[in-house]
A and B are shown apart, each in its own frame.
Chain A
Amino acid sequence: MAHDENKPLVLLIDDSVDVHRLLQARLRHEHISLVVAASGSEAVQALKSFRPATILLDLDMPEMDGFELLRVIKEDVSTNNIPVIVLSGLQGSEDKVAAFDLGATDYVTKPFDMAELRARLRAALRMHQLLRLLADRADVDGLTGLGNRAHFDKRLAETISETHRYQRPLALAMLDVDHFKRINDTFGHPAGDEVLQVLAGLLLRQSRQHDVCCRYGGEEFAMIMPGTGPADAVQVAERIRRAVAELAWSRHPETSITISVGIAGSDGHCGPMTATQWIEAADRSLYAAKHAGRDRVVAANLDRLVLGRAG
């Protein structure tokens, strides 16, 4: 189903071809891409392949009516935040109450006043945009701008699931600032915060587009590297370690900043592992790097054990 990806997608669910044609004509100049489904079951299939920014939903449809479909939409975590505007010829207050209680955002009766429908649609699209901003903010670490712990947990679970399904390589790196407590104690917490921010920026610049960089907590960062086996992960981590060691900290140029990196990686043959097992494996490598003198990368090949080079 082709649509302009620069415009928000609006899904119209109505069994009347006349309504499809009417809204395609009357919403032509709105900044949207309108997609139509002629039945509840067609809509359910469509929602498996794309996420509209707003749904326009007729209530009176054969087989699966709008109430039942609304229930399905609101019970699915992947669709329950999509604003739903009910378009209905049912004008009784009990129908409106039922629709709102099921989670409808708005209710417009047919025959429509088109100016009113356009205005309500624009309002729903603004709400959707605000909800997305809110969701994005909830996933972001306020200090560094990287993904936060919640985002990391979610992305790691998704990546592990996909990796295991297709037996793809995967590497997880845990990066920790060496002697961070000393930095905070010596120079103060604002200075420590600056170190974390600079490091976050460097991580983003040195990582690849598909890597997921997050602040795991405190002075520890995590990097999920999909499609990357342990040997390649060591190369990426080494590049980052070297870049950090070469950083000149403008606030305190006499102080060098280093990181230790622990990696757990697999070329796709490690078998099913939980997120906790992945993190524990990477943490063991990180501990080994610290124990061996810091400022180095240690990697564990979960298919077999591999040691990386020291700094």
Chain B
Amino acid sequence: MGTDPPGPDPRPAGALHSQFASDPEMAEVVRLFVGDMPSKLAQLRSLWDRHDIDTLRRLSHQLKGAAAGFGYPSLSQAAGRLECELIALSEGSSPVCAQHLRGQFEELIRLCTAVAPS
């Protein structure tokens, strides 16, 4: 998206733990959510590289809807911000700054990486 050179690899800012880490009702599903994160990361990067705005928007939308439920509200918020930018881009409803969009994407990648198992 845009013509900027590739940004630096996102460095994890420390592991991100679920707010429900000590909730026995949620232990198994949080584990599954975390376990799936490498796959989601790969998918996000692939969609970004292919400029597949619609599928990237859908994946962001899904993360926005689900992540807070698993105890990652910051991940939900970041996914929601990226979704909004992608909707604006696809609809042409307002000008989208390529650098800003990239920043939102990288923030989501950073948080997903922080969730992913090390």
| Chain A residues proximal to chain B, CB less than 8 Å | 15-19, 21-22, 24-26, 28, 60, 62, 87-89, 110-112, 114
Contacts and interface: CB of A to CB of B under 8 A. Distances in A.
B86 to A, nearest CB: 13
A16 B29 CA distance: 13
Contacts of B33: 18, 21
A60 B61 contact: yes
Nearest to B26: A25
Q: Is the interface of A mostly helix, strand, loop or mixed?
A: mixed
B27 to A, nearest CB: 9
A111 B73 contact: yes
B90 interface: no
B41 interface: no
Contact of A111 (B26, B58, B76): B76
A292 to B, nearest CB: 72
Given A89-B61, A110-B64, A18 B25 contact: no
B25 A25 contact: yes
Contacts of B76: 111
Given A60-B58, A60-B61, A111-B73, A22 B28 contact: no
B70 interface: yes
B38 interface: no
B67 interface: yes
B57 to A, nearest CB: 9
Interface string B32-44: 1100100000000
B28 A25 contact: yes
Contacts of A110: 64-66, 69
Nearest to B70: A22
Interface string B65-100: 111111001001000100100000000000000000
A12 to B, nearest CB: 13
Contact of B32 (A19, A21, A28, A88): A21
B46 interface: no
Nearest to B72: A111
A16 B66 contact: yes
Given A19-B69, A24-B29, A89-B83, 19 more contacts: A15-B62, A16-B66, A18-B33, A18-B69, A21-B29, A22-B69, A22-B70, A25-B28, A25-B29, A26-B26, A26-B69, A87-B65, A89-B65, A89-B80, A110-B65, A110-B69, A111-B64, A111-B68, A111-B76
